[in-house]
Structure 1
């Protein structure tokens, strides 16, 4: 069952069966250079379980991103609850397999998630945050209309938070 459909993508809940495909991005040292390193297979499985738990608790999480024309799994994107400077807020996050970078998929999926956050979940604002060095993710946030909100420190690393409000979308 699809949660979100865009021109080129379907987003659906992650399942344990997605572990091998999701590991293509979460276990990739280049794709995960802005994290504390690539994930082990066990951590990928835990990631899926964490998102499945979020679907129950929050009615959202990171969803599998599937190409409509080929049914290929290309990553995850969605809305999770994250702590930004000691405040729990809804945040758009994504991880796209490197073979699919620079094709607009992250932007397309993130835009759809932003609309879902406002229209379906009725959040008044939505955030995105990255390390200061993660310029590509910051650019995706800018492309979907987010503006820099604050710079803060999390896990001893400088982060930048961007946000959009529902009022700005009208």
Structure 2
């Protein structure tokens, strides 16, 4: 079993679970922020979610305030902003650190290197990690890669091949 599946998560509504809730699904994990130049990507992420969810895609938004202080709201304010402005229906975690000593275990595992060298730190808001239905990080996309890019869509479609619903 993937080490990702045992990592605990606290969701934006205060409920708790672990990444294992996504077992058997392809997951696009994105650190998000409400006041970033890339915030408009929420719309494209929601489009991806609606298009591919029934085929086995999950999107997990991870609000983070570590890049330019661009996510200062409370969990409730973040959820309301995302729903009101972008109709976001994919799950969001509570506000989380993706860097540093307080880095969430999910990000510690996703940025870990195979050879044990220094982790490849997250560089900015809206960086995307694509996780296979078996819980392996398949690809990583920088913030500038738009949700509707051929590169990202191709990787998602490949990850979904054979994914269970």
Q: TM-score, normalised by structure 2?
A: 0.32
- The higher-RCO structure (CA 8 Å, 6+ apart) is 2
Instruction: Answer 1 or 2: which has greater strand percent.
Output: 1
Q: TM-score, normalised by structure 1?
A: 0.31
